[in-house]
Structure 1
Amino acid sequence: MPVIVDPHVGFLSFQEALRAGAIRPASCSSHPDLYVFHDTPQPGVQRLTYALISGSLAKAYAVYVMAEPLNGKTCFGVGYATDADYRGQGLATELVKVSMAELQKGLAPKLRSPGFYVEAIVGADNIASQKVAARTLSDTPKPTTDKESGHPALQYVKLLGC
């Protein structure tokens, strides 16, 4: 049976590309260590990756991709991961907060109607990611089943820009 997508796998690829100079994220004005990288990993799939970067090291990252609309509004799925050496320091929580603010700042002028959702689907056994989602998105998650793996999960949702 497949497993819930682990953002840490993508984080390792991002980290490798960053160190090799294969990607060049742009700095964000809202936070001195926040950078963003936009790419199209598959035709029709736009991805925004925000990372807290020091030199050529990404300490943590958050990846946003379009999800199915919620209540008629645009929705972004978010996944996040932290470098093993920096876990337990609150970096994922900080990153999700500042990246959502940066996303809102960039996206708000482009929306047809105000507001959009950010959603995290977190494995029922992933306590660390549940804590981040509870601190940044919602403290009342909805039990669900991960569509890809069929495993129990929790859905955390936050409406921004309204």
Structure 2
Amino acid sequence: MPLLVDPSVVLPSFQKAMDAGVIEVHPCTLDKTLFHHLDIADGEPRMTYARLDKAKQVTVLVQFFNAEPYEGERCFDVGWAVPLKFRGKGRAGEAFLAAVRELRHIFLSKQQGKKFYLEGIIGVDNLASRKTAEKVFASAGISGTDTNSGAPILQFVRCIENTTNLRLP
């Protein structure tokens, strides 16, 4: 059975592609220290957001993919990864919220709906991501089993509207 999707696997290849000039990243609209890249993965749009240090090394990566609608509204699956040497400093939660602000600006300010949902699927044994998810989704998650891997998971869902407070507790 396949394992849960792990964005930390994508991070090194994203860094290599960026270093080689294969992909371009662009400063975001609201937060100029956050960079974005849009591409197609498995036939679906993938929106990648990253913070870079002065040496242009990725310090945190956040990705959004189209998901099945939730309660009839647009929904994005989300995942994040932080290189080992940058972990434990709150980067994932902060970058997640900055990236969500950019998504909200894109999808809600351009009249593409009144709200959208975010979904995070976290393996119960991934304690760091679980802690981040509990903060940014403002919930403890719902226990379940991943349909692809059979692994125990926590599902986190959050509704994003123009008035949603996007700050860490």
Q: TM-score range by the shorter chain?
A: over 0.9
Alpha-carbon shift at residue 42 of structure 1 (Å): 2.3
Name the amino acid aligned to 2:89: Q
| Letter matched to residue 9 of structure 1 | V
Spell out structure 1 runs of 4+ moving beyond 3 A. none
CA distance in 1, matches of 2:133, 2:140: 10
The aligned residue for residue 48 of structure 2 is 49
CA distance in 2, matches of 1:148, 1:119: 16
Seen in structure 2, the aligned counterparts of structure 1 residues 12 and 110 have a Cα distance that, compared at 3 Å, is farther
Q: Provide the aligned length of Structure 1 versus Structure 2.
A: 160
TM superposition shift of 1:10: 0.8
Q: What corresponds to 1:58 in structure 2?
A: 58
CA distance in 2, matches of 1:77, 1:138: 16
RMSD over equivalenced CA pairs, Å: 1.3
Q: Does structure 1 residue 28 correspond to structure 2 residue 28?
A: yes
In the alignment, residue 102 of structure 2 is paired with which amino acid? Answer: E
Given the alignment of the two structures, is residue 138 of structure 1 paired with residue 138 of structure 2, yes or no?
Answer: yes
Q: CA deviation at 1:31?
A: 2.2
Match of 1:102, SS state, is helix
- Aligned-pair CA distance for 1:2: 2.3
**Mapped contact 1:18–1:57 kept (Cα < 8 A):** no
Q: Which residue of 1 is the match for residue 124 of structure 2?
A: 124
Deviation at 1:30, TM superposition (A): 2.2
> How far apart are the structure 2 equivalents of 1:144 and 1:100?
25
**Kept in 2: contact 1:117–1:159 (CA 8 A):** yes
SS at match of 2:80: strand
* Deviations 1:64-116 (CA, angstroms, capped at 9, x unpaired): 001111111110000100011100011101100100011110111242x3100
Deviations 1:7-61 (A, max 9, x none): 1001111111112121111101322320010001222x00000001124211110
Unaligned runs of 5+ in 2: 163-169
DSSP-derived class of the 2:74 partner: strand
Question: Greater CA deviation, 73-82 or 5-14?
Answer: 5-14
Q: Give me the whole-angstrom Cα distance separating, in 1, the residues matched to 2:60 and 2:124.
A: 22
1:1-162 matches, cutoff 5 A: 1-43=1-43, 45-54=44-53, 55-108=55-108, 109-111=110-112, 113-161=113-161
Match of 2:166 in 1: none
- Is the deviation greater in 10-19 or in 78-87? 10-19
Code of the residue aligned with 1:50 in structure 2: it is: Y
Letter in 1 for 2:91: L
TM-score, normalisation: structure 2: 0.90
How many angstroms does 1:148 deviate by?
1.9
Q: Percent identity?
A: 34
